[in-house]
Amino acid sequence: LAKTTQPISMDSYEGQEVNITCSHNNIATNDYITWYQQFPSQGPRFIIQGYKTKVTNEVASLFIPADRKSSTLSLPRVSLSDTAVYYCLVGRYNQGGKLIFGQGTELSVKP
């Protein structure tokens, strides 16, 4: 399984765009990149998944460069309610695929 590296913590202010980058240098050809969000006292929640280039949904955008050795989760115009821990997962999600979480990035949004 590819190892992921993320910043331990980030601070932001309401209304700003937040970009969280995840490094995964030994990502395999068949691996996908998935991001989860976790609020205090709750289980993680799926945000977005991608393989290459850019993926966008109602919550976030995911940017993946051509070499796929990193990915960036972009949260537009954050609010206080976006304060959470964000996890980057990399893995081959087919037969035998597993969801392995790392340390995550603790995002704190201030007023």
Interface residues toward other proteins, by CB under 8 A: 32, 34, 41-46, 49, 85, 87, 89, 91, 93-104
Complex with other proteins: residue 16 or 38, whichever CB lies closer:
38
**What CA–CA distance (Å, rounded) separates 1 from 33?**
12
Query: CB-hemisphere CA count at 13 Å for 12?
Result: 24
Closest distance to other proteins from the beta carbon of 85 (Å): 8
Closest distance to other proteins from the beta carbon of 15 (Å): 28
Identify which of 71, 73, 59 has the alpha carbon closest to the alpha carbon of residue 24. Answer: 71
The dihedral over CA atoms of 69, 73, 74, 80, expressed in degrees to the nearest 10, equals -150
Complex with other proteins: residue 69 or 92, whichever CB lies closer:
92
Closest distance to other proteins from the beta carbon of 97 (Å): 5
